[in-house]
Structure 1
Amino acid sequence: MVAGIAGLTLLLGACGGGAKADSGKDAAEGYDPAAKVTITWWTGQPSEQEKVAEDLAAEYMKAHPNVTIKTSSGAATTDDLLTKLSAGFTGDSYPDISYAYGSWAGELATSGKTQDLAKYVADASFGWEEIPAAARATATYEGKVIGVPALVDNLALIYNKKIFDDAKVAYPTDQWSWDDFRSAAKKLTDPAQNLYGTAYSVSGGEDTTWHLWPMLWQRGGKILDGNKPAFNSDAGVASLELLRAMAVDDKSMYLDQTDEQYAKLFNDGRIGMMLSGPWALLEIKEANLDYGVADLPGYNGDHQTVSGPDLWVLFNHSDANRAGASRDFVKWLTSKDVDPKWNLAVGNLPLRASEQGTPEYADYIKQYPGGQKFFDNLKNAKQARPTVAGYEEMSRNVGDAVSKVLQGAAKPKEALDEAAKKSAGAVG
């Protein structure tokens, strides 16, 4: 997902080393809600979503005339934000609030620059428990809460009904096993028409890695055992072997050297099934496809999925009013009344279950019929990717291993053992 992972890890670690020791004092202690204050918000969004964010900031400022919110995307792309933040830590030019991928949480938590919101979100008025557990876990590092989930999502099975109909194959169900998935992919594949049953990213980034995690969990495996890599267990090897068989033996899997091509091919009617999330529904809608969504295939009836919650991370500038204002704004932004104006407006799932009764949710389901299925699938997101320093480096090692195996350049056990060995000193 982000280039130069090892370098970024070292840079963030160096920033953490130079940070002030935690005095135990709350960053917002002494906050005066009436004080005139300016805070910066890096939204990490492209232009269309950035406009929605700016409108929401304006709405908040109208109700709180003493607060000025300087809003910008923060970087050229969301992927660039981690680099920009690490540079900002060094030059003391980081924002009060920034969007961050959940996989960055461990790195940011160890920077020494984040607020601890644990007591703040524990107040009943925040409604912390209304946010899915996997998202809350992602925002938490060693008992400290470094931010608030910005969105929730998950992986499910999206399928093209026409391709299934043409091949006379029954549609996927929520009860499908991975063997069912493999069998259908073989039947849907037609080399003469350049048609594949399914697809997988072999870019080596997080998109490659996190598709393996649900299969690992379903078989009872772990990503880490304490701080020790454990993904190279029998459960991990068996999961990767199934993917290898589909890619190498069956040749029913399109191997995408990027993270983007397979979705385009799905929308062009060249791929029958893809394991993806609610973010894919916007382009599917534009392609006018007749599609369906089912739970991920399972193992022994376990259909766990993985959630990729992203965060609004709040940073400490040793200014109680900036800390307090940024908290109040994010609490407002993620509330059940305002979140529909953000997440549902830009095609994401609602952050809170209480939003299901809103007009915005009804409109969302009308526009994206698969959205309800993804929302219901949140119940299958029972575990979270570990919020640890070094996750990004470990993810890259696992992604490289998966990529090699799916392209026939390595065997599952050897590749995962090597990834575990490389990652042993990274996570902690």
Structure 2
Amino acid sequence: MKAAAALLLVAGLLAGCSSPGEQADGPIELTWWHGQVETQAKVIEELAAEYGKAHPDVKIVPAVGTTNVDEMLQKVQAVLAGGKAPDIAYMYGTWMPHLAKNPKVYDLTATVQAPGFQWEDFWPSERAVSEVNGKVVGVPALVDNLAVIYNKRLFDAAGLAYPDKNWTWDDFRAAARKLTRDGVYGTAYPVTGTEDTVWRFWPMLWQQGGAIVTPDGKKSAFNTPQAVGALDLWSAMARQDKSVYLDQNGEKFLPLFQSGKIGMIVSGPFALLDIIDHKVSYGVQVLPGYNGNHESIAGPDNWVVFDNGSRRAKAAADFLTWLTRPEQDARWTLGLGNLPVRKATTALPAYQKFIKDIPDMDVFTANLDNARQARPHLPAYPELSEKVGNAIAQAMVGDTPAAQALAKAAADADTVLGRAR
């Protein structure tokens, strides 16, 4: 009887090592919130089924979570409060500072440092977004960057040579001015005041050696003469040259480019499939630069694991290790018109077909080497970005001088950063 009681006690203690609701053994079922629909969702379901066949002790259950990925963080935070979080969710890279503070977010540092994972195979900009204060919060699910997509037919009609990789922002302005005629704008800028406005401005700051915030993250650092000069350039193009289509809702400039009404756009690889569908003769070139620096910006998104017990979290991490291997990466990214998240994926035959089917996509892939920095890992960044976005819009749409707009944005950003301490 005493032996039986002892065994029951040990069993009880072992059961207590698991989180509430976690089984100590048996099959594991993982919920995967992906936020995708149609073709993307179908690929997700195929990958989940394939993993399940090879790992019969693990069942991956894909679920949309929310069809608007913009709302994924809010949705996850709501279910976390109720104790029913998914095991894996698709999250924007700019959310990593918020997620890093949540104890329910599983630390993936050991996962990516395992010999077989090959963390160094991911581009530096992806790793920089994934890591917050030495902790890996997520693994890359998608990566992009900004370059210039131009209409070859409009360049030919204007007698302009296509831009080369050494072009400057002055070259960009001159080309935009010459392209502007007969109802055609040389270029466009989304002046929504959102991050869509701001992330197009940061590369011009970085190219000149600037920074968004101080190294300690306590003060803004973007209000410099160089940044004022960059915003002055865009303001002059918009107000003096009349060569910029100012898109106040951010949804019109791409269709206008597709219809031949805009000569150049600063955009990412995500734009190319629609451009191809509209049969535009296009080219892609790296961003114009300052003093030979053509630094760009990447917008990586991540798969994040939530700790629903050690067995489930470990199984989710193992699944992401499989999902991000080159063969699976090719199916998830290349198959949907996105850049590979791993360098090794570019060695696969699938990548050669990818860049053949989507001309100049390889320019975007190579441009990942120009994305060397990440936006600040600060929970206050979204509010700081809003201040800068409004400043850019005021300088380009209104009559506010660039120096005045950025000075006010910096003062407001300092207030935001001070409040967040």
What TM-score, normalized by structure 1, do the two folds share?
A: 0.89
Provide the identity percentage: 47
| 2:207 aligned residue (218, 231, 236) | 218
* Post-superposition offset of 1:35: 4.2
The alpha-carbon deviation at position 33 of structure 1 amounts to: 11
Separation in 1 of the partners of 2:239 and 2:84? 48
Instruction: Summarize deviations over 1:360-392 as a string: whole Å, max 9, x none.
Output: 112211111111111111111111112221111
Distance apart, 1:89 and its partner CA: 2.7
Aligned to 2:12: none
Indicate which of 200, 205, 216 corresponds to 2:189: 200
8 Å CA contact 1:141–1:388 kept in 2: the answer is no
**1:209 aligns to 2:193 (yes or no):** no
User: Where does 1:55-134 land on structure 2 (aligned, <5 Å)?
Assistant: 55-134=46-125
| CA shift for structure 1 position 32 | 10
1:163 corresponds to 2:163: no
Structure-1 residue corresponding to 2:315: 325
Q: CA deviation at 1:151?
A: 1.5
Question: Structure 1 residues 64 and 302, CA, compared in 2 at 3 Å: closer, same or farther?
Answer: same
In the other structure, the counterpart of 2:3 is none
CA shift in 2, pair 1:316/1:350, >3 Å: same
Shift of 1:34: 7.4
CA–CA distance in structure 1, aligned partners of residues 410 and 328 of structure 2: 43
Moved over 3 A (4+): 31-35, 425-428
Report if aligned partners of 1:248, 1:408 keep a CA contact under 8 Å in 2.
Answer: no
Alpha-carbon deviation of 1:250?
Answer: 1.1
SS of residue matched to 1:229: coil
Q: Which amino acid aligns with 1:59?
A: E
Aligned partner (choices 268, 276, 296) of residue 277 of structure 1: 268
What are the superposed Cα offsets for residues 335-363 of structure 1, whole Å, 9 maximum, x if unpaired? 11211011011011111111122121122
RMSD: 1.8
Query: What is the TM-score with the length of structure 2 in the denominator?
Result: 0.91
* Residue of structure 2 in register with 1:173 after alignment: 164
Contact 1:97 1:315 in 2 (8 A): yes
Q: Name the residue aligned to 2:11.
A: none
CA 1:33/1:201 → structure 2, altered by over 3 Å: closer, same or farther?
farther
C-alpha separation in 1, matches of 2:82 and 2:404: 42
Is the 8 Å Cα contact of residues 36 and 67 (structure 2) preserved in structure 1? no
1:147 Cα deviation after fit: 0.5
Structure 2 residue aligned with 1:364: 354
Larger radius of gyration: 2
Call closer, same or farther: CA 1:188–1:301 in 2, change over 3 Å.
same
> Does the aligned pair in 2 maintain the 1:41–1:98 contact within 8 Å?
yes
Distance 1:195 1:33 in 2: 66
Q: For residues 393 and 246 of structure 1, what CA distance do their matches in structure 2 show?
A: 27
Deviations 1:29-71 (A, max 9, x none): xx99974111111112232211111111111111111212221
User: More deviation in 132-141 or 391-400?
Assistant: 391-400
Q: Please name the residue that 1:420 is paired with.
A: 410
Which residue matches 2:257? 266
Q: Which amino acid is the alignment partner of residue 142 of structure 2?
A: L
Cα distance in structure 1, aligned partners of 2:230 and 2:307: 42
Residue-pair matches, total: 397
Deviates more, 1:166-175 or 1:75-84: 75-84
